[in-house]
Amino acid sequence: MSARPYVVGIAGGTGSGKTTLAQKLADAMPAGRCALIEHDAYYHDLSHLPPDQRAGVNFDHPSALDSGLLVDQLRQLRDGTPVEVPIYDFATHTRRRDTRTVRAARVIIVEGILVFSEPALRDQMDIKIFVDTDADIRLMRRIRRDLEERGRTFQSVRDQYYATVRPMHLEYVEPTKRWADLILPEGGENRVAVEILLGRLWRVVQD
């Protein structure tokens, strides 16, 4: 690969639309020219804990994620070396034995609620985008995702939201907005913003 990868960081609260934005940008890139990595894949493996204790872990705190591994892998990708990205099982709170091979691409998109919380991780990014969405909309999206995709009960989602999700958003996620180069309302649903970003990324892949 002749040009060093251009890394796009997308942060924002749970249910903000950052994943939709990341996917829309990735899908619009030419084949083989974009790689998408989710910070959620780097949650620490909790297989050493009894199953009934795993759900009590604060998954919305920066320490729940192995950001150091992500930093190392982004550095490898920027040097042109493929990496093995973990695959996390949210039903059991453990990492699967198999991994996902990600190869260096001209554009690398990294998304997650806490991708701006670690200085070493921010340093790997060429552009940082914060998706800003109203709290009530984010909550409804979170409930639907956890019920439909992660096999959670409504009570467990509600309890987690009040215990960790909301306070951690206020303490760790919202403040990272100050590191953003761009703040986008509504993420992937913001058609104008998506078109502007795609214009930038298309210029990058054509360099």
Ordered by start, the domain boundaries in the chain are: 6-205
Single pTM value for the model: 0.89
Write out the two tokens for 45: 């493996």
Question: How many CA atoms are closer than 13 Å to the CA of 59, on its beta-carbon side?
Answer: 22
Q: What is the pLDDT of residue 83?
A: 98
The Cβ of residue 184 has, within 10 Å, a number of other Cβ atoms equal to 25
Q: What is the pLDDT of residue 138?
A: 81
Q: What is the pLDDT of residue 55?
A: 80
Q: What is the pLDDT of residue 158?
A: 84
pLDDT tens digit at each of 207 positions of the chain: 458 899 999 999 888 889 999 999 999 999 999 999 999 999 999 999 998 899 888 998 999 999 999 999 999 999 999 999 999 998 899 999 999 999 999 999 999 999 999 999 999 999 999 999 888 888 888 788 888 877 788 888 888 888 888 889 999 999 999 999 999 987 778 889 899 999 999 999 987
Q: What is the CATH number of domain 6-205?
A: 3.40.50.300
